[in-house]
Amino acid sequence: MAKLEQGLVQVYTGNGKGKTSAAFGLALRAIGRGLKVYVIQFIKGGFDYGELHVVQHLPNLEIKAFGRGKFVTQMPPTEEDVKLATQAFELAETMVSGGKYDIVILDEINVALHLKLIELDKVIYLIKKKPKHVELVLTGRNAPPTVLEVADLVTEMKEVKHPYTKGTPPREGIEY
């Protein structure tokens, strides 16, 4: 398949489960059609997520995870958290502008924005300057209103019921 004729901007946000899963579903569909996908995971580095184990077995899909393996809860965030998010964003700029990849997924970038690990203006600029053929996907809860405004597609995952509320811990292969 040739490059996408028109790449759009998609946002998966909200408090419900499934934002990253939706983005990986899109990636799987795309590589099945011969498109090239690059996934940059903001703040997920150091965690043992299942998707990291399968990437080497799939063609045309690359992933790079950033983060120190801990949830960012300190406000203001640590210098290390800001540094890692900055590195992730710099890679995002390279992957989006380079044009080699048809789809670039910025997993949990909305969380990085919410935690003030990266600047909103830089993300908006990246969205607006992306090459026409590149599909850009931004995931994570708390997507800023400005990101929602510039996106072409916005899906909000809404939690209706979740087993966490009854004390069910995260399950390997399902939640991570």
Instruction: Quote the pLDDT of residue 48.
Output: 78
Residue 4 belongs to a domain: no
Residue 1 belongs to a domain: no
Residue 176 belongs to a domain: no
Residue 171 belongs to a domain: no
Instruction: Quote the pLDDT of residue 135.
Output: 98
Rounded distance between C-alpha atoms, residue 172 and residue 176, angstroms: 5
Instruction: Quote the pLDDT of residue 1.
Output: 56
Per the prediction, the chain carries an average pLDDT of: 93
Total domains in the fold of the chain:
1
Residue 128 belongs to a domain: yes
Instruction: Quote the pLDDT of residue 13.
Output: 98
Instruction: For residue 19, give its domain range.
Output: 9-159
Q: Using CA atoms of 80, 82, 88, 92 in order, give the dihedral in degrees to the nearest 10.
A: -160
Residue 124 belongs to a domain: yes
Rounded distance between C-alpha atoms, residue 175 and residue 153, angstroms: 25
- Tell me the sheet residues that pair with 65: 41
Residue 3 belongs to a domain: no
Residue 30 belongs to a domain: yes
- What CATH number does the domain containing 85 carry? 3.40.50.300
- pLDDT, mean of residues 78-86: 95
CB 167 within 8 A of CB 23: no
Rounded distance between C-alpha atoms, residue 105 and residue 27, angstroms: 8
Count of alpha carbons within 13 angstroms of residue 162, beta-carbon side:
15
